[in-house]
Structures are given as structure tokens and as C-alpha cells.
Amino acid sequence: MHVARLILRDFRNYERAEVALGAGLNVVVGANGAGKTNMLEALYFGLTAQSCRTSNAREIVRVGASVARVEVHVQAEDGLHALEVGVEPGVEKVIRVDGTRLVAGVDPPRPLVSVFLPDRLDLVKGAPAGRRAHIDRVVVALWPARAGTRSAYARALAQRNALIGRVRAGAAGADLLDTWDRELAAHGAALMANRDAAVELVADAFATRASELGLPEPAELRYAPRCAAAEVEAIERELREHRESDLDRGFTTHGPHRDDVALVHGGRLLRTLGSQGQQRIALLALLFAERDALAARGAAPLMLLDDVMSELDLTRRERLSELVAADGQTVITATEPEHVPGAEHGATVIAVTAGTVTESSARAAA
């Protein structure tokens, strides 16, 4: 599955634009401020109905316009499908698939998207919550049937926290927590098993990709669960042991909602001790390792890589280009086409200037 065409209407600095994409490597080239990141955002938006940069619809709609529209044509096995998202601040988003309003619960024909933006470095250097959310998304991408586990755990956690509040207020007995301990432990064990399996599946590729992209020392992806145990009964016991301090502090202090996924380089946590460049490489290695795992299941995601080349040296740029060329569809932005080695061999080059697509050409293999 790949995106064959992108059509924009009043999206960011694009009044109207239409661009054909290749099934392999696409390079969006333009000066600073031309609209390269906006185009990646538009692709993400067309496929997910969410922005990868903002939760504020007002920012997305072109200044002076009232409605933004993104249309993405997806080439699937059964033919071409049109996904259309309209956004108007303060009004619910409208998503159409082949001209018909999308029904809740129906999954439209679209590839998964994996996005690298400079501010996504937070995934490496930010708080554990971002990494938990990320690994849980990877779980769903790998095993769609497990989509409900995270929310089931979150619901049980909210119930347990609410009960803690009532116990503290003297409105309920502490023994009522037994039920919620069991419930939380059951969902928690499932959530932990999912995370463990996803990390396990991606970890080897992460180490390989990190070394290929030039991390000098061995890199490691490690699941760091908060609970010592993995079985339901043992987790329940751990919750019981923390009950006193939970009641003291007023919330559930222990459990997989405190998990982390550690990115390690040379035995040190990249989060705190990695250089900016090392953190960038680790994030790329993680996204490509996930792509490997998904591609092995026949569902390679569309890779959107914003401004990845600028801080890499030539050797690393070449390695990244090889990785990009190896599998699936990629859209990569650069201020200079020379920053993407190998782009002259068969890549689709999309030139943008001030919100206008000035040129789109599939460069013939030399």
C-alpha cells in the first residue's frame, strides 16, 4: 500500500497544491520556510486525521481561509482509494473514504505512518510517558486485535484511583480495593506482555540499525517494567504491598502506568547522557527497526522523515539513504537535494517554493 497522490486545499501555507508521489523514495526540496514540513504534516493528516505537530486545528487552516482539506489517494491491493479530511476550527472533522463519510469503527484502507520530526526527539530524551504511548502504538500496529488493552488498563486505573479517593474521604472501606487490584493486575499483565513482546521483536533490529547509522558503541532497547513480576497474582501482590502508600499519596503509585522503555548506548541511558546527534540516530534506528518488524508482517509503514540529513555526516547520510531505499515508501525533506545521496537514481523529487509545488519529477535511474 502506498500514497499515490496528495491534494491540499488551504492547508498551512498551501492554498492549492497537488502532487504525485512515487512508491519508493520521495524527496521534498525547498528553502527554509517553503512548506516542506507542512507537506509531511499534510500526508500524516490525510492518513490519520491528526496532525503530527499540533492539536490546534486553527494552526492548520491557512491564514485567511476557514476550512482546510487534505485528500490522499492510496494505492491498495484492490485499487485506488481516496481519503479526504476536512478541518474547520470548532467543528468536528469530516473524514470521507471514496466519497462516503467514514463510519466509526471502520478502518479505512491506509498505510501506517511513522514520522521523524526534530521535536520527536522528545521520544528519546523526554519523560517515560511518551515512550509508553509509543510502544503501545507499536503493539497496536503489530497486533491490531490488542488495541483495547491499553484503554482497559487505563479504565481500571481510573476506577482504582477514584476508589482511593473515596477511601481517603472515609466514604468507602479499603477492602473494596481488592477487586480493583485484581482487575488492574489482570489488565496490567496483558499490557506488560504486549510491551515485552513488541520490544523483543524490535530490539535486535534496533541494535543493528543503530550501529549501521553510526552509533559508535552497542545500542540496546530494553523494556523497563515497574512491576517485578509478570503474572497476574504476583502483580496483585505488588499492588497490595503498595496500598498503604497509595492511600497515603492519593493515587496508584505502582504498576505498568509507570513503565519505561530504555534506549541505551554503550551501557548509558541515551535519555540523559546521549548527545543530540546520538539521540537523533537512536530515534531513527528505532523507527527503522519498527519498520522492519512491520514490513516482515507485510505492512511497512509510510516513513515521513523531516530534516534528518542536515545533522548527519556524509557516511551516515549514505547509510540512511540505503535504509530508506531498501523497503517501502518514504518521504524525506531536505533543503538541498544533494543531502539525500542516491536520490538521483529513481527518486521522485518534489520542489516547493512558498507554498507552491514548483516541480515534481520522477528522476529516471541514471
- 89 neighbors 58 (Cβ within 8 angstroms): yes
Q: With binding defined as CB under 6 A, does residue 30 bind ligand ATP?
A: yes
Q: Which residue number, 35 or 256, has a Cβ lying nearer to ligand ATP?
A: 35
The residue within the footprint of ligand ATP, chosen from 8, 25, 36, 190 (CB under 6 A), is 36
The residue within the footprint of ligand ATP, chosen from 26, 38, 321, 360 (CB under 6 A), is 38
Question: Exposed/middle/buried for 64, CB within 10 Å: 0-12, 13-18, 19+?
Answer: exposed
The residue within the footprint of ligand ATP, chosen from 3, 7, 13, 340 (CB under 6 A), is 13
According to DSSP, the residues that pair with 82 across neighbouring strands are 73
Residue 74 CB neighbours (<10 A): 22
Q: Which residue number, 192 or 303, has a Cβ lying nearer to ligand ATP?
A: 303
Sign of CA dihedral 102, 105, 110, 112: positive
Residues of span 51-80 touching ligand ATP by CB under 6 A: 59, 61-63
The residue within the footprint of ligand ATP, chosen from 35, 225, 256, 274 (CB under 6 A), is 35
Q: What angle do CA 291, 296, 301 make, to 5 degrees?
A: 35
Q: Which residues neighbour 179 within 8 Å (Cβ) at sequence distance 6 or greater?
A: none
What residue ranges in the chain does DSSP mark as E strands? 2-11, 14-20, 25-29, 68-76, 79-88, 91-97, 100-101, 113-116, 219-224, 260-265, 268-269, 302-305, 330-334, 348-353, 356-362
Q: Which residues bind Mg ion (CB under 5 A)?
A: 37
What's the closest the beta carbon of residue 54 comes to ligand ATP, in angstroms?
9
What's the closest the beta carbon of residue 33 comes to ligand ATP, in angstroms?
4
The binding track of 79-108 with respect to ligand ATP, each residue x by CB under 6 A or -, is ------------------------------
271 binds, among ligand ATP, Mg ion, none (CB under 5 to 8 A by kind): none
Residues of span 264-323 touching ligand ATP by CB under 6 A: 307
Sign of CA dihedral 305, 309, 313, 316: positive
What's the closest the beta carbon of residue 360 comes to ligand ATP, in angstroms?
16
62 binds, among ligand ATP, Mg ion, none (CB under 5 to 8 A by kind): ligand ATP
Question: Exposed/middle/buried for 308, CB within 10 Å: 0-12, 13-18, 19+?
Answer: buried
Q: With binding defined as CB under 6 A, does residue 34 bind ligand ATP?
A: yes
What's the closest the beta carbon of residue 65 comes to ligand ATP, in angstroms?
8
Count residues contacting ligand ATP (CB under 6 A)? 16
CA distance linking residue 49 with residue 95, whole number of Å: 7
27 binds, among ligand ATP, Mg ion, none (CB under 5 to 8 A by kind): none
Q: With binding defined as CB under 6 A, does residue 15 bind ligand ATP?
A: no
The residue within the footprint of ligand ATP, chosen from 9, 12, 131, 280 (CB under 6 A), is 12
CA distance linking residue 84 with residue 219, whole number of Å: 40
348 binds, among ligand ATP, Mg ion, none (CB under 5 to 8 A by kind): none
Identity of residue 258: R
- State how far the alpha carbon of 214 is from the alpha carbons of 210, 279, 281, 312, 316, in Å: 6, 12, 8, 10, 6
Strand order in the sheet with 219-224: 219-224, 260-265, 268-269
* From 25-33, 81-89, 227-235, 273-281, span contacting ligand ATP (CB under 6 A): 25-33
Backbone φ, ψ for residue 330 (5° rounding): -135, 140
Q: Which residue number, 40 or 191, has a Cβ lying nearer to ligand ATP?
A: 40
CA distance linking residue 72 with residue 302, whole number of Å: 13
What's the closest the beta carbon of residue 117 comes to Mg ion, in angstroms?
8
The residue within the footprint of ligand ATP, chosen from 50, 161, 335, 353 (CB under 6 A), is 335
Q: Which positions lie near ligand ATP, rule CB under 6 A?
A: 12-13, 30, 32-38, 59, 61-63, 307, 335
